[in-house]
Amino acid sequence: MKKNNTGYSTLNGDASGLAQKTVLVLGIGRGGTSMVAGVLSKLGIYMGDGLSSRYQDTALLDCLKRNDKKQAKKIIKERDGKYPVWGIKKLRLWRWNRLFRQPVYVVILRDIFATANRRMSIFNISLLSEMFKVLGLNFKLLLFLRFTKRPVFIASYEKALLFPEDFVAGLAEFLGLDDPTQIAEAVEFIKPSPPTYTNTLVNFKAIKKNKDYVGYIDALASNRVSGWALSTLHRDPVSLELLVNGVLVQTITTYLSRPDVPKRNKRFHELCGFEFRLPDGVLLETGDQIDVRFEGHQQSLNNSPQEFV
């Protein structure tokens, strides 16, 4: 590892010698974990299915929220069978670290004011109160790092933005990755506050209070489009249209449970999730314009249309 202060270090050695391992991204929400998870994805590490710009694996994290270890073990076993190396991000995953095969940790730390200020703008809470909360969460994280014997890569979010080449090179070395094309893509991925991140679900400030219909596209994949949508006038399901390059492809009704949505705004309700699954043989291509609209209206979801990349 480099001796100059490029903003990263390791604890307990590196993980390059482990042919099989699970990379757990740890940090504080709004503290850079999505950036790290995205970099790992660009480096060729499987981070989950149907990922949004936050690179958050909803299938496994839903098990964590429900404390459903049985289902979590099933998912983990399936992934261990498919991938010698795979990863996931979540602050409190250390509680379940014994479920994972050969866990190694990538920890990102960010200035507590920047983290708290971002969270304050999202959740409309006191800045100082949130700074104390972030400080407490960081303390718990540091306690975990103090006692773990597993390999740890620890980095500064601010320094990663300033020195992306060094950050990616250090992370790749820690994990034993050396594909130059993937490393270059990972470096290019690192950008401060990309629009695809700031315009996703959590940015409720983007939703005007007087809107009768609101929603977001959370994830785009070649064969599906998913997210949430609802009416603030009632709690009934709403019908949605998927248009690709201006052509109507499919119409569905919201039916999936999204308990995270009402947690962010009390005016919203839970049964508002949707997933368009494209017909067999039909795949989205780079450059396609994806638009999800409320049926019977010309109104699109808040971050729609958007380009498939």
CATH code of residue 258: 2.60.40
Cβ-contact 108, 33 below 8 angstroms: yes
Domain shared by 209 and 177, yes or no: no
What token pair was written down for 268?
């919203």
Counted domains in the chain: 2
233 and 275, same domain (yes or no): yes
Can you give the pTM of this predicted structure? Answer: 0.63
Any domain includes 126: yes
Q: Is the pLDDT of residue 152 over 90?
A: yes
pLDDT higher than threshold 80 for residue 244: yes
pLDDT attached to residue 31: 85
Is residue 94 predicted with pLDDT exceeding 60?
no
Residue 2 falls inside a structural domain: no
Is the domain of 249 the same as that of 142?
A: no
Stated length of the chain: 309
Same domain for 194 and 208, yes or no, is no
Whether residue 154 is contained in a domain is answered as yes
Which range in 15-19, 53-57, 243-247, 299-303 is most confidently predicted, on average pLDDT? Answer: 15-19
**Half-sphere CA count of 271, side-chain side, radius 13 A:** 8
Position 155 pLDDT exceeds 90: yes
Region 166-184 average pLDDT: 96
Q: Is residue 121 part of a domain?
A: yes
Residue 203: the pLDDT is 46
Are residues 141 and 219 located together in one domain of the fold? no
Instruction: Give the pLDDT score at 300.
Output: 86
Between residues 81 and 65, the one the model is more confident about: 81
**Residue 164 sits in the same domain as residue 235:** no
Q: Which residue has the higher pLDDT, 111 or 60?
A: 111
Whether 76 maps to a domain, the answer reads yes
| 1 occurs within a structural domain | no
Considering Cα of 274, then 55, then 115, then 142, what sign does the dihedral take? positive
Q: Mean pLDDT lowest for which of 35-39, 47-51, 77-81, 291-295? A: 47-51
How does 24-52 read in b/e, with b if 16+ C-beta sit within 10 Å? Answer: bbbbbbbbbbbbbbbbbbbbbbbbbebbb
Domain of residue 249: give its range.
204-307
55 confidence band (pLDDT: 50, 70, 90): confident
* 265-285 pLDDT tens trace: 888 899 999 999 998 888 888
180 & 222 share domain:
no
Whether residues 178 and 244 share a domain: the answer is no
184 and 211: one domain? no
Separation of CA 136 from chain center:
22
CATH number at residue 95: 3.40.50.300
- In 10 A of CB 246, how many CB atoms? 8
Which pLDDT belongs to residue 191?
A: 76
77's CB contacts (< 8 A; 6+ apart) are none
The model's pLDDT over 211-243, given as tens digits with 9 standing for 90+, comes to 688 898 988 888 999 999 999 888 899 999 999
Residue with tokens 């076993």: 77
126/251 same-domain check:
no
Q: Domain ends where: 170, 198, 226?
A: 198
Judge if 239 and 130 occupy the same domain.
Answer: no
Q: How confident is the model at residue 51 (pLDDT cuts 50, 70, 90)?
A: low
Domain stop point among 198, 221, 254 = 198
- Give a yes or no: residue 84 inside a domain: yes
Strand ordering across the sheet containing 85-89? 8-11, 152-156, 103-109, 21-26, 85-89
Same domain, 104 and 182: yes
The last residue of a domain, from among 143, 167, 198: 198
pLDDT of residue 50: 61
256 located within any domain: yes
Q: How confident is the prediction for the chain on average, in pLDDT? A: 84
Gap between the Cα atoms of 27 and 225, Å rounded: 28
